[in-house]
Amino acid sequence: MGGFVVVNFYRFVFIQDPELEVSKHLHFLQGHDIHGRIYINEQGINAQYSGPSENAVAYANWIKKDERFKDILVQVSPPIHKHAFPRLKLRYKPSLMEGGVSHLPLVDSSMRATPLTPSEWRKKLSNLNNKDVILLDVRNGYEWDIGHFNGAQRPNVDCFRSTTFGLSETEDNDSDPLANVNKENTEILMYCTGGIRCDVYSTILRQKGYKNLYTLKGGISHYLEREGPVEWIGNLFVFDSRLSLPPSLVKHESMNDESIKHEVANNNTVFAKCYICGSQVSELWHRNCANLDCNLLFLCCSSCMNELKGCCTLKCTSADRLRPVLPSHERYKKWHHYRDT
Which structural domain range is residue 302 located in?
284-337
Same domain, 116 and 260: yes
Same domain, 64 and 150: no
**263-298: buried (b, 16+ CB within 10 Å) or exposed (e) per residue?**
ebeeebeeebebbbeeeeeeebbbbbbbbbebeebb
Same domain, 186 and 331: no
pLDDT tens digit string along 301-325?
888 988 999 999 999 999 999 988 8
pLDDT tens digit string along 50-79?
999 999 999 999 999 999 999 999 999 877
Q: Which of 73-82, 286-295, 331-340 has the lowest average pLDDT?
A: 331-340
Record the pTM: 0.77
Same domain, 74 and 223: no
For residue 88, pLDDT over 80 is answered with yes
Same domain, 184 and 262: yes
Which phi and psi (to 5°) does residue 172 adopt?
-105, 30
Helices 53-64 + 18-29 axis angle, to 10: 140
Q: Is residue 312 part of a domain?
A: yes
23 contacts 29 by C-beta, under 8 angstroms: no
Q: Which residues are catalytic?
A: 192
Number of domains in the chain: 3
CA–CA dist 40, 146 (Å, integer): 30
CATH assignment at residue 25 = 3.30.70.100
